[in-house]
Amino acid sequence: MGKMLASQVGLVVLLIIASLTEAENMRYKDPKVGVNKRVRDLLSRMTLDEKIGQMVQIERKVATSDVMKNYFIGSVLSGGGSVPAPKASAEAWVNMVNELQKGAMSTRLGIPMIYGIDAVHGHNNVYNATIFPHNVGLGVTRDPALIKKIGAATALEVRATGIPYAFAPCIAVCRDPRWGRCYESYSEDHRIVQMMTEIIPGLQGDIPAKYPKGFPYVNSGKTSVAGCAKHFVGDGGTQKGINENNTVIPFKELIDIHMPAYPDSISKGVATVMVSYSSWNGIKMHANRQLVTGYLKNKLKFRGFVISDWEGIDRITTPPHANYTYSVQAGVLAGIDMVMVPNNYTEFIDDLKLLVKNNIIPMKRIDDAVRRILRVKFIMGLFENPIADLSLVNEVGSQKHRDIAREAVRKSLVLLKNGKSANKPLLPLAKKAPKILVAGSHADNLGYQCGGWTIEWQGATGNDLTRGTTILNAVKSAVDPKTQVVFNENPDSNFVKSGGFSYAIVVVGEPPYAETNGDSLNLTIPEPGPSTIKNVCGGVKCVVVVVSGRPVVMQPYLPTIDALVAAWLPGTEGQGVTDVLFGDYGFTGKLARTWFKSVNQLPMNVGDHHYDPLFPFGFGLATKPNKPY
């Protein structure tokens, strides 16, 4: 009898030990356990296939619930213009993301995937979202508090669609406006770019005091997103501004001009860093171990994860994808942790697995990558809240966010000329004029006003792409009800001269573009812009509003223009332009980029020995508002 009892007690004890061991074993699922311990525990359970899966980011077009489950995929993204359906609602986005997340969660270890998107000036892929001015305009404001508010508003709209990760901010220092991505850069001066990294605590939340140096920080509530400082490093310094080209400068210049915003971003807890397509002195950044591992990870002590750009490792070779196995080897050994594949994921997985099994890529490199990815996922609360709900859907395009965008438009405008003589200013314009002319290709075109990275990757034309206010409609709202507003996109000179107009507002500029499609060696406003300026300004007092992603050739037209305003790419809130044109607010913006006379001067940045601009860095006329606010 005694023996039997003893054996039963022994069995109970064994069962208790087993269950305690099991609970102990599942430490990674316990939010009370420290992040490092959770990471260590989870990593110790993972197979090679599960680890490699975490390093893979695929496009939503090739992602299904089964793909997520079968390949242990760690991340999904929407490329520019990649949406669940045209004009999809926030609910449709949430449902799509959750469907993929359920696939990820159904795996043996239940590791949630992280969904990323290019929310680079607001949640710009999404119909009805607030589109903020592009960075080229925001740099003009020199207002970090405003930029932080934009980050927080963007984070809310991104989270409203079930997405917890934004590929922003771009902290490139654009040194040559011929670069097609120049509008993604806040300034040619790294000090302004550093100031604007305040968008990171807007996106991610404020980093707590005494937080460990270099560690990512994302507020684990539902209102913040993981950010991404990009593109590491020197992307804005390529020769002739050619996208994805070679930045040829000494190491000291790379560090002094292009690097400074990275330590700022890391000190603010940025979760991820994206590597640049460009090269530095002939070495592709995606294969540059010295800078990615040596400088970013070891010297700057960055503890978040490093992500590649879209097919970035493919482009290590010329032509791209010429020797993919080599590219996988070079990219992962350089220190890239997550690879934006984004389509042919089985090839990447097979190649990486082979490289590890043949000891070409050591297991400790894989573990470093996965440790960093898991660290970000744990810190941001993804394990506790993997499934998105519909509680924030009304944040998309909310009036509060549109008001912030309108303020940003006002503060980003730069008044470059006001009157043919200083004692006869044209601005602010009279609201009670009997009859005014609005002209130009960009006056009534929301797509042009928003620029690239808006609904579509390359941007779009027309007024049906999303909800917003064109500059023409803003003019109609701003003027006195008795004022007659005549819109003629490209009037001839007779129409202008015989129209009896008090003055004209001419809105012209560049069509939308993104990346390489925006590279330009001439930087001219396409026709009919110049003809419209000539016809209108030759016949009536005119203010020309330039909508562009960078300074463009203006010198030939300047003598005929009474007033000139740089509006950059203002986004959906056109009333921000008229707020200042009509004097409800004063002009305060100062150039964050040099405005050249001729492209032959380029590259030309403030401080250069050959500096001879049309309008210098820091220039901007001020006006007083008609009534105090």
User: In three state form, how does the secondary structure of 301-359 look?
Assistant: CCCCEEECCCCCCHHHCCCCCCCHHHHHHHHHHHCCCEEECCCCHHHHHHHHHHHHHCC
Nearest to 406 by CA among 253, 571, 537, 564: 571
If phi > 0 it is left, if psi is from -120 to 50 it is alpha, else beta; for residue 419 that is left
Q: Which residues of 460-481 are buried (b: 16+ CB within 10 A; e: fewer)?
A: beebebbebbbbbbbbbebbee
CB 155 within 8 A of CB 203: yes
In angstroms, the CA 338 to CA 374 distance is 11
In angstroms, the CA 385 to CA 394 distance is 20
What does the DSSP 8-state code read for residue 615?
A: B
Joined tokens for residue 219: 């507020």
CB 101 within 8 A of CB 112: yes
In angstroms, the CA 422 to CA 415 distance is 13
Local structure of 487: helix, strand or coil: strand
Joined tokens for residue 426: 């044209």
CB 125 within 8 A of CB 514: no
Helix then strand then coil, % of the chain, to nearest 5: 40, 15, 45
Give the DSSP letter string of 151-185.
HHHHHHHHHHTT--EE---B------TTSTTGGGS
Half-sphere exposure of 262 (CA within 13 A, CB side): 30
The amino acid at 16? I
Starting at the edge strand found earlier in the chain, the sheet holding 246-247 runs 246-247, 279-280, 283-284
In angstroms, the CA 545 to CA 570 distance is 11
Active site residues: 309, 515
In angstroms, the CA 189 to CA 448 distance is 27
What does the DSSP 8-state code read for residue 432?
A: T
Nearest to 81 by CA among 447, 341, 568, 393: 447
What are the Cα distances from residue 539, in Å, to 4, 435, 498, 550?
110, 14, 9, 28
